[in-house]
Each structure stands twice: as structure tokens, then as C-alpha cells.
Amino acid sequence: MFLRVREQAFNVYLVFFGFRCALIGYLIYESIFLPRIIGILMAFAGFGYLILLWPPLANYLSPFNLALAAPGELSLVLWLLVVGVNVERWKEQASAAPGLPG
């Protein structure tokens, strides 16, 4: 019984993680600090996790729905490790923001 509850709890966690990935994808897409393609890939990753909201579809697409998440998450991690954030744009935005020091 506890193993079934653990499996269901993990799927609930993955659904919330899917919402997180979709929101991060949207924010990356709208920002100017990271490439928009990473935002699109992260939104697809969120969609892959959100498929778990409907278990029959998730069981049918079982290995492929979570494989949708790999390109988005890996591209974000690799971009931040290798290239990072565009510091010039960051400072430009920080100095243009009203009411913020800097």
C-alpha cells in the first residue's frame, strides 16, 4: 500500500515540477538574458511533466513524455555552466529599473 502511495505522491511532485518548468520556460522566453530557444525547450519540459495529470495518457506515452524534458533541462544547465548570463544586459536592466539602487 505504501509503495502505491509513494508512486502517486511522486507523480504529484512531478506535476508541480512541470508547472515550475513551464513558468521558468515562460520567464526565460520573455527575458533578454538567456536565449529564447531555452525558454521554449523548458516549456516543452514542463508540458512533458504535466502530461502526468492524465494517467491514461501518461501510461500510453510513458518513456516519451519524460524524454521531452531532457533537452530543456540539459540545455539550461549547460548554458548556465558554460556561457552564463549576459552581464552587460543584466547591468543595463538593473540601472534602468526605477527605484532600485545600482
Residues in the chain, total: 102
pLDDT tens digits along 1-31: 777 788 788 878 888 999 999 999 999 999 8
CA distance 102 to 4: 52
Q: Domain residue spans in the chain? A: 2-96
| Helices and strands: H and E segment counts in the chain | 6, 0
pLDDT tens digits along 59-84: 788 788 778 888 999 999 999 999 88
Rounding to the nearest 10 degrees, give the CA dihedral for residues 46, 14, 12, 31: -40
**What is the value of pTM for the model shown?**
0.77
Number of neighbouring beta carbons within 10 Å of residue 25: 23
